[in-house]
Structure 1
Amino acid sequence: MTMSEERIQKVLAKAGLGSRREMERAIEEGRVIVNGEKATLGDKVTASDDLRLDGKPVKVENEKVRRVLVYNKPEGEICTRKDPEGRHTVFDRLPKLPGERWVAIGRLDINTSGLLLFTNDGEMANRLMHPSRQIEREYAVRVLGEVSQDNIDAMCAGVELEDGPARFTDVQFFNGKGSNQWFHVVIMEGRNREVRRLWESQGLQVSRLKRVRYGSVFLESTVRAGTWQELPKKEIDRLAASVELPSAPWKSIIKHKRDPMKRKMEKQRTRRSVENKGRV
């Protein structure tokens, strides 16, 4: 089966090799070869073309399996693949994807915890991160200082930061008293330290920051810090639809799901069997 022509950067992004922007840079750097010749921006390919990135063949598929992971990032981890200082990165604990790689949907700074999404679909990642899509990000924020309604009104109306205007679309008090108050805030973009800087513009300090939602995906309590969970197909399709992408095939990356209690009972039976043999 052949596929209709698609731009090379889009095909590479769909193959999970990076975001569309990263693949555009790879083309400009001459790292992408099509049928023995260097590709240029604007070129298109079909399934019958020999497409290679850094000398490695890229299989072009019509029905690529789309996967999404929900990861609960602990404080102290950084959002890069490798760190020259040897610090833990958010990629360290993710499952391996033979022939593909995980693409992070957005970032969290080293002192921020909570929800990070990873996918093997670079095109979906690119759309979900793009400011024009206006995807909601919700955070739980612990604030030091007395928060007034005037502060909240100002942050919702808009504040001029050094890199442009910013605002929350919603601020809701959650719980706490005095200098230990928790709020939930919603923002529509992911600029560097934007949530913290909005609060700082009001003379208030953020002491804890945790992302709890990205678009339609919430961080469930079952996903402990430093662990990941697969998103089911229904939720992936909903997320894809929010950025005008069609449904795609899904297949679990967990090959064998075994009940931990059953595994414990099997170990106990094996141990008893060995002990009984020793008595004969």
Structure 2
Amino acid sequence: MSEKLQKVLARAGLGSRREIEVWISAGRVSVNGKIAALGERAGPQDKVRVDGHVINSDKLFPEKRRVILYHKPVGEICTRSDPEGRPTVFDQLPPIRFGRWISVGRLDLNTSGLLLLTTDGELANRLMHPSVEIEREYAVRVMGKAEKDILDNLRQGVMLEDGEARFDQIIDGGGQGINHWYHVILREGRNREVRRLWESQGVAVSRLMRVRFGNILLPRSVRPGEWEELSDAQMRDLLALTGMTEQRTASVKSSGKPSRQTHEKSIGALSRQTPKKSIGALSRQTPKKSIDASSRQSREKSIDASSRQSPKKSIIASSPKKRKLAAKPAPRRNKS
């Protein structure tokens, strides 16, 4: 079965559809030795070249779209190779027969937590695109409790060297001694943005962990260096954030926010010990609904690894109650 060239090349991770359309218009793409035109189609039997270089058919036409959730430990980098010989996240991933794993954004060397990887380059590009505004949630440990004026600055916006940035939400997670935990939410993925925001206020970050991307959260069952394949339900929800669909899956428009049920459950243990005012925008947007035993069990499973070392009051992100994204996780696979 043939598909439009721009879709095929975007899926291979060579660029966005719009970028590839520009390449085709400029005559940089050929099919079976002939310069391609916009709207031209190609199939597994065709030989596709970009700037004269043959693109492997297995890369252009992978078997099935796959997405895995990887728990990145501190000390691994998100590039495929490193001249310094440092370990990379790609060293730990399951082998695939066709195509390759493409990282959905990056986490820096000293940041741990949830990292999504997919065989679909177009999906990766859409998930990373700023216009989609998918929420990223991080657990942050800082030295000492931040003053109110610092938190206000971080919510209202701070001018960094690459433009203004801010946190959509900051939730106090409590702390002991000199360490204090916060959960912060933002809708973009600039380089070291979370750290730079805190550093702009003179606050040192001693630990940083991503616990949620959109409505996909880091399960407690997936330990550092381990991965888990997304379930069909999780895949549908993830595709809905970008407007993409799988066969027999209807398109669902979304702003990239978790559902109201996710907000309700994401306040976790913090809401049991903290006055409602400290929950901020989360509680204002969340209806007061009872949480049954199964949802409490799901919430407990989704406690990220940072909560085991942080105070009990640190919050967790959780999956929507109706969809139960983590209800039937795929079998955990240790690195080998």
Per the TM superposition, whether the score is higher than 0.5 is yes
Higher-strand-fraction structure: 1
* Deviation per residue, 1:92-141 (Å, 9 max, x gap): 01011112001100100101000000011111110100001101000000
Tell me which residue corresponds to 2:33. 36
| CA–CA distance in structure 2, aligned partners of residues 172 and 34 of structure 1 | 53
Q: Do the aligned partners of 1:105 and 1:117 also contact (CA within 8 Å) in 2?
A: yes
C-alpha distance in 2, partners of 1:200/1:57? 44
Q: Which residue of 2 aligns with 1:52?
A: 48
Q: CA deviation at 1:175?
A: 2.2
In the aligned structure 2, how far is the partner of 1:74 from the partner of 1:162? 28
Conserved 8 A contact 1:138-1:212: yes
Cα deviation for residue 31 of structure 1 reads 7.7
Cα-to-partner distance string for 1:16-69 (whole Å, 9 max, x where unaligned)? 4544389849958988531213557x56324387242532542666x9622100
User: Secondary structure in 2 aligned to 1:247?
Assistant: coil
Q: 1:26, 1:32 within 8 Å by CA — same for their partners in 2?
A: no
Report the equivalent of 2:16. Answer: 20
Deviations 1:234-268 (A, max 9, x none): 10111001110012489xxxxxx79xxxxxxxxxx
In 2: Cα distance, 1:17 partner to 1:249 partner? 24
Aligned equivalents of 2:17, 2:197: Cα separation in 1: 28
Distance 2:17 2:144 in 1: 41
Cα distance, 1:160–1:178 mapped onto 2, change above 3 Å: farther
Q: Which runs of 5+ in 1 are unaligned?
A: 251-256, 259-280
1:114 and 1:245, CA in 2 relative to 1: closer, same or farther beyond 3 A?
A: same
**How many residues matched?**
247
Alpha-carbon distance change, 249 to 57 in structure 1, aligned in 2, over 3 angstroms: farther
* TM-score between the two structures when normalised by the length of structure 1: 0.78
In the aligned structure 2, how far is the partner of 1:137 from the partner of 1:20? 22
Does the 8 Å contact 2:137/2:184 carry over to 1?
A: yes
TM-score for the superposition, normalised by structure 2: 0.66
Match of 1:96 in 2: 95
**How many Å apart are 1:9 and its aligned residue?**
3.6
Q: Secondary structure of 2:69's match?
A: strand
Q: Which has the larger radius of gyration?
A: 1
1:116 matched residue in structure 2:
115
1:171-190, aligned counterparts within 5 Å?
A: 171-190=170-189
1:227 alignment counterpart: 226
Instruction: Give distance in 2, aligned partners of 1:69 and 1:26.
Output: 31
For structure 2, which runs of at least 5 residues remain unmatched after alignment? 250-330
Q: 1:249 to 1:89 in 2, by over 3 A?
A: farther
Q: Is the 8 A contact 2:140 2:181 kept in 1?
A: yes
- Does residue 81 (structure 1) correspond to residue 74 (structure 2)? The answer is no
CA distance in 2, matches of 1:150, 1:193: 22
Coordinate RMSD, CA, aligned: 3.1
Change (3 A) 1:21 1:85: farther
The alignment partner of 2:175 has SS state of strand
Distance 1:17 1:218 in 2: 24
The match for 2:300 is none
Identify the structure with bigger relative contact order (alpha carbons < 8 Å, sequence gap 6+). 1
Q: Distance in 2 between matches of 1:108 and 1:22?
A: 26
Paired AA for residue 117 in structure 1: L
Identical aligned residues as a percent: 50
Distance 1:248 1:101, change over 3 A: farther
Query: Contact 1:80/1:90 (CA < 8 Å) preserved in 2?
Result: yes
